[in-house]
Chains A and B, each alone.
Chain A
Amino acid sequence: MAAMLRATALRARPTARMLTARRSLSTLLIAEHDGKTLNPATLSALTAATEIGKPVTVLVGGENAKDAATAAASAAGVSSVVLLENAALAHGLPETWAPVVVAMQKEGGFTHVVAASSSFSKGVLPRVAALLDVAQISDVLQVKDENTFVRPIYAGNALSTVQSHDEIKVMTIRPTAFEKAAAEGGSASVTEGTVEVVAAKDVAWLSEEVKKSDRPELASAKTVISGGRGLKSAENFAMLDSIALKLNAAVGASRAAVDSGMCANDMQVGQTGKVVAPDLYIAVGISGAIQHLAGMKDSKTIVAINKDPEAPIFQVADYGVVDDLFKAVPELESRLEQK
């Protein structure tokens, strides 16, 4: 198939075309930020972007995003930053964002359009791809070359190596699969974007309920402690908070814990929740269903505390403790105190 495609390309226009394509690689990275700094996930996507094709242009859009644009300009590997200050971009509505990204791509002739996988990019990028009439490649884990990428399928139980035949590659990057680029060391210029931003008329943002927490963010925390069905109640689930505080860890959850109301749904780790790959993942009272493992099995060290010795979580755990969690968790907490 690949050979056939190459033949088609050659017939269409001889080798010069391929050389030109190679020379003019350029990547547009859509940044996510809090107005001040880039999200850690965007820094990971930046690493992927630099592996794909330099120069990398970062698009920073939103309201009061000037500081974020300055931060993007000092990130290592960034060639230029385009700032689009516009209130219509503030809540990340894909209906407004997608035409803007498409216009940016057309203006800059970017060969690759990328962003870190997030609820924002999952909304915007497929829309961008459809408007450009190209496929999207979701959750890229590895960049083989400018056309070839590895991505997970079947909840991470298989890895698919895909080659794109599209002129423009649109893709989301799984942040946990790439090291974060250094936030300092770059010296890119910031320019004001020239593409027109038209606020979508058919959709309006009404409200949000975002949980504020002083704990590290789940997706980028170095340590994560997660609870499952075994904790039985929201009160018991809160037990994990004090350990998390001692370990400076984020608290995650299995779907069972979320569905039974023990914790908020944005804490869910798994195929349909967040994908984490911390240095240490402690699974408490989690059996280890395929869908949960999809979200944490790339953690460096996995610890499982479960009273069922047959629980599938023990197949991926580096260290397992077969014990009643109501006994083991308080003991773990007190032993952490003594260190």
Chain B
Amino acid sequence: MRVLVGVKRVIDYAVKIRVRPDKKAVETANVKMSMNPFDEIAMEEAVRLKEKKSATEVVAVSIGPTAAQEQLRTALAMGADRAVHVVTDDELVPLSVAKVLAALVAKEQPKMVLLGKQAIDDDSNQTGQMLAALLGWPQGTFASELQVASESELRVTREIDGGLETLRMSLPAVVTTDLRLNEPRYATLPNIMKAKKKKLDKLSLADLGVSLRSHLTTLHVDEPPKRGAGIKVDSVETLVDKLKNEAKVI
């Protein structure tokens, strides 16, 4: 079976972000960019499925600016067989991304689409669910364990609010990854070199025949309110006293 893996280029998780002075967005110029951490987990899982012979081909896809090729090369170095880059400079809401992915699914005919559960930039946590809805496929979101039981059946253990739950679903399906699904591998230098020779197709939104419309306008982006400066107390005794008499929380 063919597995499609979504990869998003985002500001690196360790970067302390800054709001742009015009308050229209977050500063992205000269900021370190990386593959969304949840997508790395999706990529790793797809490669493991291939190593277990459950998957025959792993296709990494990214929708975004030209620079998103870097993240696709990383995906290829991790073990994707080929990559598809849908080039656009527009900021797409998850519904629009899901529509583009649905068009790619129609083209590529995968049996499974693996996505991260959320992108760490917009924190939406929507794309996988929306794609599943558009395709009429079942969804295994927040997966912490994935078992391909047969050509047509999947078992997904999901992280839910009170613990874990296990679902059985038929393939094709959309799966979104939670942190604990796996530990993504590092791309080795030889694999990074090999990745340069792998196929990376470029498509435009027009090539895929998807028409998108605007759903949301970001009016402004602000810094969250700052907390007032705290104090360091010298002993637990003082701490308990402050909590009782000053903050009155115990």
Looking at A12-20, A23-31, A129-137, the stretch in contact with chain B turns out to be: A129-137
**Contact B233 A271, beta carbon cutoff 8 Å:** no
- B-side contacts of A163, CB under 8 Å: 216-217, 219
Of listed A154, A165, A219, A266, residue having the most chain B CB within 10 A: A154
Given contacts A264-B163, A331-B236, contact A148 B219 (CB under 8 A): yes
Tell me which residues from 152 to 188 in chain B have a Cβ below 8 Å from any Cβ of chain A: 155, 158-170, 173, 178-180
**Contact A154 B11, beta carbon cutoff 8 Å:** yes
**Contact A339 B224, beta carbon cutoff 8 Å:** no
B250 at interface, CB cutoff 8 A: yes
**Contact A153 B164, beta carbon cutoff 8 Å:** no
Given contacts A136-B126, A138-B125, A314-B232, contact A126 B240 (CB under 8 A): no
For A303-317 the 0/1 string (1 means CB < 8 A from B) is: 100000100001011
- A-side contacts of B239, CB under 8 Å: 303, 319, 321, 332
Looking at B52-60, B62-70, B92-100, B194-202, the stretch in contact with chain A turns out to be: B92-100
For A199-210 the 0/1 string (1 means CB < 8 A from B) is: 010111111111
Give the distance in Å from the alpha carbon of A139 to the alpha carbon of B123 in the complex: 9
**Contact B217 A1, beta carbon cutoff 8 Å:** yes
A127's partner among B14, B17, B130, B214 (CB-CB below 8 A) is B130
- A-side contacts of B249, CB under 8 Å: 223, 279-280, 300-301
A33 at interface, CB cutoff 8 A: no
Q: With both chains docked as a complex, state the minimum distance between the C-beta of B88 and any C-beta of chain A, in angstroms.
A: 17
B244 at interface, CB cutoff 8 A: yes
**Contact B232 A211, beta carbon cutoff 8 Å:** no
A122 at interface, CB cutoff 8 A: yes
A135's partner among B216, B232, B240, B247 (CB-CB below 8 A) is B216
B218 at interface, CB cutoff 8 A: yes
Of listed B128, B155, B224, residue having the most chain A CB within 10 A: B224
**Contact A339 B240, beta carbon cutoff 8 Å:** yes
Q: Which residue of B lies closest to A333 (CB)?
A: B236
Given contacts A158-B19, A265-B144, contact A202 B138 (CB under 8 A): yes
B222 at interface, CB cutoff 8 A: yes
**Contact A154 B236, beta carbon cutoff 8 Å:** no
Given contacts A155-B120, A280-B250, A320-B233, contact A129 B126 (CB under 8 A): yes
A98's partner among B133, B218, B233, B236 (CB-CB below 8 A) is B133
B71 at interface, CB cutoff 8 A: no
B218's partner among A124, A162, A165 (CB-CB below 8 A) is A162
**Contact A95 B138, beta carbon cutoff 8 Å:** yes
How many residues of B are counted as interface, with CB atoms below 8 angstroms from the partner's CB atoms? 80
Tell me which residues from 63 to 79 in chain A have a Cβ below 8 Å from any Cβ of chain B: none
**Contact A297 B227, beta carbon cutoff 8 Å:** yes
For A142-170 the 0/1 string (1 means CB < 8 A from B) is: 00000010001111111111111110000
For A174-200 the 0/1 string (1 means CB < 8 A from B) is: 000000000000000000000000001
How many residues of A are counted as interface, with CB atoms below 8 angstroms from the partner's CB atoms? 92
A112 at interface, CB cutoff 8 A: no
B80 at interface, CB cutoff 8 A: no
**Contact A94 B139, beta carbon cutoff 8 Å:** yes
Q: Which residue of B lies closest to A207 (CB)?
A: B166
- B-side contacts of A91, CB under 8 Å: 165
Give the distance in Å from the alpha carbon of A98 to the alpha carbon of B216 in the complex: 22
- A-side contacts of B121, CB under 8 Å: 153-154
Q: With both chains docked as a complex, state the minimum distance between the C-beta of A246 and any C-beta of chain B, in angstroms.
A: 9
**Contact B160 A157, beta carbon cutoff 8 Å:** no
Tell me which residues from 205 to 225 in chain B have a Cβ below 8 Å from any Cβ of chain A: 214-224
Give the distance in Å from the alpha carbon of A323 to the alpha carbon of B126 in the complex: 42
Q: With both chains docked as a complex, state the minimum distance between the C-beta of A48 and any C-beta of chain B, in angstroms.
A: 18
- A-side contacts of B129, CB under 8 Å: 94, 122-127, 130
A21 at interface, CB cutoff 8 A: no
**Contact B123 A314, beta carbon cutoff 8 Å:** no
Give the distance in Å from the alpha carbon of A334 to the alpha carbon of B16 in the complex: 38
Q: Which residue of B lies closest to A159 (CB)?
A: B222
**Contact B141 A317, beta carbon cutoff 8 Å:** no
Give the distance in Å from the alpha carbon of A138 to the alpha carbon of B114 in the complex: 21
22 intermolecular pairs with C-beta atoms under 8 Å apart = A93-B167, A95-B132, A119-B142, A126-B133, A129-B126, A130-B129, A134-B95, A154-B121, A158-B19, A161-B222, A164-B215, A202-B137, A204-B167, A205-B165, A259-B179, A280-B250, A297-B224, A301-B249, A318-B247, A319-B242, A320-B231, A320-B233
Which residue numbers of B lie inside 8 Å of A, CB to CB? 11, 13-14, 16-17, 19, 26, 93-95, 98, 117-118, 120-134, 137-139, 141-142, 144, 155, 158-170, 173, 178-180, 214-224, 227-228, 230-233, 235-237, 239-240, 242-244, 247, 249-250
